[in-house]
Amino acid sequence: MNNEKSCAFFGHRKIDNSKNIKEQLMYILENLIKNQGYRIFLFGGFGDFDKLCHEVVSALKLKYTYLKRIYFLTDVRFLSKSINNKKNEYEEFVYPDLKYDYWYTRIYFRNCEIINRSDFVIFYANKIETSGAYKALKYAKKNKEKIL
């Protein structure tokens, strides 16, 4: 990735009131794109919130064709399958070199890598200690200034 501004998303697998959230996301993301120069959007691809964010970014990509959607994988074994199944949904696929074998641990450290590569991170997370979205939020609060 280059020096262009990037935004990532983390949220729970299930969300309520998706229409309201979608409207808020559209407003926030269009502001980031038009007024703050964000061009790159990073996704982990799990759950309703990630899908909703991808829908919004994809809709905005129709207007702002230069936007780039990047999918972060947890395991290199899924790279070719992901590219084949999602090649029209993302402009780039990234596999961060993670040295962890357990699947859930890989997700956590993949999420940390996404946060590290982001300039701004948007969360939809409640305080549920076992939640991956909440763990990512706690990590981001320690390491990032720009979170919502």
Confidence tier at 26 by pLDDT (50, 70, 90): very high
pLDDT greater at residue 40 or residue 126: 40
With 0-12 CB in 10 A as exposed, 13-18 as middle and 19+ as buried, what is 99?
exposed
Mean pLDDT of the chain, nearest integer: 82
pLDDT of residue 78: 61
pLDDT of residue 47: 78
Kindly list the domain boundaries of the chain, sorted by start residue. Answer: 5-143
Tallying the residues shown for the chain, one arrives at 148
Fold for 5-143, please state it. Answer: Rossmann fold (3.40.50)
pTM metric for this prediction: 0.83
Q: Which residues pair with 129 in a beta bridge?
A: none
Whether 88 has a pLDDT exceeding 70, the answer reads yes
